[in-house]
Amino acid sequence: MKSTDPFRAQLVVEHLGAIDRAEVTIRPLTLFFGPNGTNKTWAAYALYGLLRRFHTGDAPVDSVPESWFTAIREPIRRLRDAAGGGSTTRTTSVRLTRPERPNQLVQADLCGLMALHADEMGAARACLEIQQPRREHVDVRFDWTPDEDEIGLLRTWSASGDLAATITLGPETNPKVFLDGIWSALIEVTESVRAFPAERKALLTLHHPLSTLSMAGPQMDAIMGGVDARLSSSLVASRLKDSAASLDRSLPRPSVDFITRIDRAWHRRPDAPPGPMASVAEALEGILGGRVEFALNALGGRSPHLRFRTKNLDLPIHSTHSLARSLGGLDLYLRESAMPGDFVFIDEPEMNAHPRTQLVIAEFIALMVNAGLRVVATTHSPYIIDHLHNLIEAGRLAPDQQARFADRFELGTTDAYLSPDLVSAYHFDRGGVVTDVFDRDDVAIDWDIYGAESDDIANLYSELLAAQRDG
């Protein structure tokens, strides 16, 4: 299973922390690494915020443009009038044009994304150029039916990538729901954008109280209806909403989104079929030694309590090993909702992992990419960097040689071998310089990134031994 995903994008960040300006090419696997405090995570979060603008399910500006409603209003009125007057006219067509989509984040956007004040962020800016053909318009045909059971939307793409749509309308049909689907298809460059932030262990363990805090509006009064009569329901609701606002200000948007996604998984039907990435989830569960899932309540639905289950153990998530808590949210996502084309952001995937396990994680990340996911990872692990290099080299071998080396890898499969065309790697230094360290001529990630630290350790050891000998 090898990915041929052609996705490319150019991320530009300016005045972002220590980074004056950096240009980064985004590929299906993009690695950010370097010392602490070099704004790797900020750059990754800027990319996260930009990609949310190109996915309607997450985007902050995701409504169908008003120009579309203006364009369809009169043709639909004429179609309905003709059908009501006994005319044989049952169809009309409209061409809808794709408006420009904002592709940059300015200071205010980045402050909201990272829960920072303007004086903490500075005059930062980030923009993203997607390097793929844009769908500039869509031709929509409206068909009339007197039977509301026959209404629906059919979307089709031509061989050249042009989008067309047919909407079947009934007497009471509101076309907005169908326009949402067309708008989504026209602007999306990714199925979904998911983040697994550095705080994910705590957020996973505390998801239920945190997701409750993240609720607001009229639901609060309904939830608080059974609260101790000494407290006013509206007062408690107001305090909870204040706490929700405080949570939103205290956590970066990727962390808040992580809580929201776990909450949505909790509300999923227990008998819902697994998603298309279930086999990738099984590989992760093999690494973890079990799976993370929700306990069931007395009615057979999901309770909010997460469990880690193996053949012999069934433990609450807070009592299981740290790697399961670190990657448990990823397990849920892969098993239930991941789709090819999703962007997955993982901050320090090696967190809490033994060096040998870090090699397995490197291979697992490659499996995800080859399954069609697009991964952006920040890391401090020389094991992950070096082993991904091994996977790239293995991918360049002849097929018979690839099979011969499979059992030398932790997962024992050629499915983790990587094409160099899928990989970008960038080093962030303390001076704010971001360097592309993937040499495409030699097809190699710079091996010397962590060499200085290893040399320093070895040299100090030699000097200590020499001092002992010299007395």
> Is 143 found in the same domain as 116?
no
- pLDDT band for 88, please (50, 70, 90 cuts): low
pLDDT at 217: 41
> Is 29 found in the same domain as 116?
yes
- Token pair for 162: 């042009």
- pLDDT band for 391, please (50, 70, 90 cuts): very high
How far apart, in Å, are the Cα atoms of 211 and each of 46, 128, 216?
24, 31, 10
pLDDT above 70 (res 324): yes
Flag whether 401 is in a domain: yes
Average pLDDT, the chain: 84
More confident residue, 6 or 417: 417
- Cα(34)–Cα(379) distance, integer angstroms: 8
pLDDT digits (tens, 9 = 90+) for 44-75: 999 999 988 776 454 444 467 788 888 888 88
- Token pair for 330: 């990823």
Q: What percent of the chain has pLDDT over 70?
A: 81
Flag whether 378 is in a domain: yes
How far apart, in Å, are the Cα atoms of 12 and each of 77, 437, 468?
46, 17, 52
Flag whether 61 is in a domain: no
pLDDT at 330: 97
> Is 417 found in the same domain as 305?
no
Query: Under a CB-based contact definition with an 8 Å cutoff, are residues 40 and 33 in contact?
Result: yes
Helix or strand (DSSP H, E) at 32: strand 29-33
Phi-psi category of 432—alpha, beta or left, where left has phi over 0 and alpha has psi -120 to 50?
Answer: left
Phi (first) and psi of residue 127, to 5 degrees: -140, 160
Total tally of structural domains belonging to the chain: 3
pLDDT digits (tens, 9 = 90+) for 197-230: 999 999 998 877 776 655 544 444 444 444 444 4
- Cα(362)–Cα(386) distance, integer angstroms: 9
Rounded to the nearest 10 degrees, the angle between the axes of helix 253-266 and helix 40-52 is 60
> Is 326 found in the same domain as 390?
no
- Token pair for 306: 């997460």
- Cα(83)–Cα(100) distance, integer angstroms: 35
Flag whether 230 is in a domain: yes
> Is 250 found in the same domain as 224?
yes
* Residue recorded with tokens 């053949």: 311
Q: What percent of the chain has pLDDT over 90?
A: 49
| Total-model pTM | 0.80
pLDDT above 90 (res 161): no
Flag whether 194 is in a domain: no
Neighbour tally for 295: CB within 10 Å: 14
- Cα(285)–Cα(340) distance, integer angstroms: 19
- pLDDT band for 376, please (50, 70, 90 cuts): very high
Residue 334: domain span: 199-338
